[in-house]
A and B are shown apart, each in its own frame.
Chain A
Amino acid sequence: MRLGNTDMIKIQREDVDIGAMIAAAKERSMGAIVVFDGIVRDDNIDEMEVEAYEEVALRDMEEIRDEAVRKFHLHSVDIVHRVGSLAVGENILVIVVGAGHRQEGFEGCAYILERIKERAPFWKKEYRKDGARWVKGNLEH
């Protein structure tokens, strides 16, 4: 583990420097860093608007981080979820997981992503030439 509680869990409008996140995460104890970068796909949309219930979403992501650290013995977890107006190709969600070994890293990163999709209060609205629509949510929440 990194010394102290230096993990970064953030919701922000600005883009994020993934290279800098990886560099900041690296520790001598790690054998693998796994990165998930969720981006706006070109489904014939002009842009996407992402909204959050920020206090609860931050709390949920911190809980998910803690669960994943315990379950997969992760050395570090950094999560940035963006909100606001995003164009095709822009980053939506970046997860950087540091682990001793690759399997823990891959599994831990996937766990964090799936739990965020399942329960953290974020919503997406897609804007198309023929109108706007909210992305169908997860009914398992």
Chain B
Amino acid sequence: MITVRIRLFAQFREIFGGEVSLPLAPGSTVAGAVDGLVSRAPGGKKALLEDDGSIREFVVLMRNGKRIETNEAGTVPLADGDELAIFPPVAGG
């Protein structure tokens, strides 16, 4: 197994908590981590996934600080110790 550190912000932090340590099978992708996360909190699935199970388009994903497009999340593998950040559109300034 590998362990990925998931960090969540804003609305998603309120649903899942600010940080989740998620064990995954080796070779798991970013999309696999999101699938593993959503069942951990009530309302989690609706917050991050469309009805067909795809990641909602407005969700921002970053692997080790680098942006991953939601439609590519199924092809980006995760390694042990990776940090995956998940957050809604930004609203600073």
Which positions in A face B, CB cutoff 8 Å? 38, 50-53, 55-57, 59, 81, 92-93, 113, 116-125, 134-139, 141
Contact = CB atoms under 8 A, between A and B. Distances in A.
Given A53-B7, A139-B58, A122 B89 contact: no
A51 B9 contact: yes
Nearest to B65: A56
17 contacts: A38-B93, A51-B9, A53-B85, A59-B65, A117-B91, A118-B90, A120-B90, A121-B90, A121-B92, A122-B93, A123-B10, A123-B91, A124-B91, A134-B88, A134-B91, A137-B88, A137-B89
Contacts of B60: 121, 141
Interface of B: 7, 9-11, 13, 58, 60, 62, 65, 85, 87-93
Contacts, number: 74
Nearest to B8: A53
A93 B92 contact: yes
